[in-house]
Amino acid sequence: MAQRVDSSQPQAHQSPTGFPSLDPRTGEVVAYHQADDDAAVHAAVARAREAAQWWRELGFAQRRRRLLSWRAALTRQLDELAELICAETGKPRDDARLECVLVIAHLDWAARHAERVLRPRRVRSGLLMMHEASSVAYEPYGVIGVIGPWNYPAHTPMGSISYALAAGNAVVFKPSELTPGVGQALAASFAAVVPEQPVLQVVTGYGETGAALCRAGVDKLAFTGSTITARKVMATCAETLTPVVIECGGTDALLVDADADLAAAADAAVWGAMVNAGQTCVGVERVYVTKEVATELTERIVALTRRLRVGGKPTDHIGPITRPEQIDVIRAHIADAVAQGGTALVGGAEAVCPPFVQPVVLTDVPETSTAVTEETFGPTITVHRVADLDEAVQRVNAGRYGLGAAVFSRHRGPQIASRLRCGMVAVNSVVSYAAVPSLPFGGVGDSGFGRIHGADGLREFSRPKAVTRRRFRPLVQVLTFDRPSWAVQLLLRIVRALYGR
Ligand code: NDP
């Protein structure tokens, strides 16, 4: 029988001394959680250190077996986990279920591929060092700290947690203060399958708890969240030279060529911009469309957007804005776009009715508006008419973020994709790369660095170790004080002959 995933069990505290997680649709308390202080976070990392040794020594096959059992448990618990995601974020039920599907697909891939990607492999030693056999091993770091956001409270942190665990690390996870129950549900589900050691633990609290995790002696920290917080996290981690993976937001663009399938492009633009009320790091924030098809595409976007239902029912298309402070940002971006000469074709200032924001489609917004330069993280989209895709590429690449992008073109998709300064591109679809577990996920510029997902994600949570083993005594022995004076001369002659031409 599936184990119940319940935010009130076993670690949530129904006590006014803790902090509440709230249902953004109603403002009701979902559960109270404790705010873990410095000492509690240090204790969790100390427990994780022991667990990490045990987990590492299990080896790939045993870890794989346990992680696949966890995947099966999460699959059985999918509906309960999705309900909890809905309660803490307010997102529609099927969006939460799709999030769980992503969690399961990535966990499965990480578990199945860790050994193939990370087992020791031989490499060539080269002509000058042919007397050595060389190999690279990938060793787990030990304890990985994971700090996650609230918008995809299961999928986003699991993009680090699954790969870190599969690589042989223990994990201490600090979820967003808005979604602590989802974090605890994930850890409880793991503990039921791996009861022997606390290989995956959760600490809950506000930003200070996250800062404590950065200082608690973790061997690497995987952060997903805003660029502003990323800078603080990096500064804290710099105190102890703790390495970091940084996954931040973006202002992702969708580019539409004159020969594109406009029905598909409009559908992708609207879904990519509005899904999860626009609270998606790789959500579409702006569309650049060539002048030949701009009018038709804009009309299609407007028509599709008008069909969307906003509300707190599980079956609505768009739920509330999860983080109340974000509403001010969305309001300010819409106001700035209009003040700078933009036109709202759908919605406008009146679209903001907390905790909901109705969809907004803006055109003629200058590139200097915050609606273009900054992440809005709401159900808004700006549509820009350009002379051609060269101009579109130039405008996209001028931004300081570079997370994902989408290109709609019948003939030039991959070519345009190769010119975009970002980490991921979907050609003739949107956001699809996030659902392909074998692909790396991450950005450039203010969107962060390092990669989760795929083989690169497994290596991100491993330290490469180089090993050489002497196969035979070299003819010319130079790495010794006992070398004869002619040895270096001979080596130089060989080097000049080999490389000097
Ligand atoms: P925040 O940056 O506000 O918070 C992220 C996490 O950091 C939270 O758990 C937060 O805790 C914690 N935190 C806050 N202050 C500190 C600190 N000083 N030291 C350590 N940790 C701290 O981001 P949001 O939660 O608002 O998430 C939204 C952002 O995440 C958006 O910009 C979005 O684009 C980005 N994102 C990026 C993704 C990617 O893969 N590239 C995926 C999903 C989202 P608390 O909540 O308790 O304050």
User: C-alpha 391: how far from its chain's center?
Assistant: 29
Confidence of residue 300 (pLDDT cuts 50, 70, 90): very high
Confidence of residue 16 (pLDDT cuts 50, 70, 90): low
Contact by Cβ (8 Å): 88, 153:
yes
Confidence of residue 8 (pLDDT cuts 50, 70, 90): very low
In the predicted model, is pLDDT for residue 90 greater than 60? yes
Residues 21-41 have a mean pLDDT of: 96
pLDDT value at position 13?
Answer: 44
The rounded mean pLDDT for the chain is: 95
Residue nearest to atom 34 of ligand 1 (CA): 249
Give the atom of ligand 1 at the shortest distance from the alpha carbon of 452.
40
In the predicted model, is pLDDT for residue 11 greater than 70? no
DSSP 180-239: HHHHHHHHHHHHHH--SS--EEE---SHHHHHHHHHTT-SEEEEES-HHHHHHHHHHHHT
Residue nearest to atom 39 of ligand 1 (CA): 247
Residues 16-35 have a mean pLDDT of: 92
Lowest mean pLDDT segment, chosen from 5-14, 412-421, 442-451: 5-14
- pLDDT tens digit string along 454-465? 999 999 999 999
In the predicted model, is pLDDT for residue 9 greater than 80? no
- pLDDT tens digit string along 104-141? 999 999 999 999 999 999 999 999 999 999 999 999 99
Residues 138-157 have a mean pLDDT of: 98
Is 100 tagged catalytic? no
> Hey, what domains does the chain have and what are their CATH numbers?
36-248+453-462 (3.40.605.10), 253-437 (3.40.309.10)
329: left (phi over 0), alpha (psi -120 to 50) or beta: alpha
Count Cβ atoms below 10 Å from residue 453 Cβ, excluding itself: 26
In the predicted model, is pLDDT for residue 481 greater than 60? yes
In the predicted model, is pLDDT for residue 14 greater than 50? no
In the predicted model, is pLDDT for residue 416 greater than 60? yes
Report d(CA 165, CA 106) in Å as an integer. Answer: 12
DSSP 325-367: THHHHHHHHHHHHHHTT-EEEE--GGGEETTEE--EEEES--T
Confidence of residue 348 (pLDDT cuts 50, 70, 90): very high
Is 237 tagged catalytic? no
Residue tagged active-site, from 86, 248, 281, 422: 281
Question: How far, in Å, is the centroid of ligand 1 from the Cα of 87?
Answer: 19
Question: How far, in Å, is the centroid of ligand 1 from the Cα of 245?
Answer: 13
pLDDT value at position 5?
Answer: 38
Q: Give the CA count within 13 Å in the CB-facing half-sphere of 423.
A: 31
**Pocket lining for ligand 1, CB < 6 angstroms:** 147-152, 156, 174, 176-178, 206-207, 210-211, 214, 224-226, 229, 232-233, 247-249, 281, 323, 375, 377, 403
pLDDT value at position 160?
Answer: 98
- pLDDT tens digit string along 220-248? 999 999 999 999 999 999 999 999 999 99
pLDDT value at position 237?
Answer: 98
Report d(CA 63, CA 167) in Å as an integer. Answer: 9
Look at residue 253 and give its three-state secondary structure.
Answer: strand
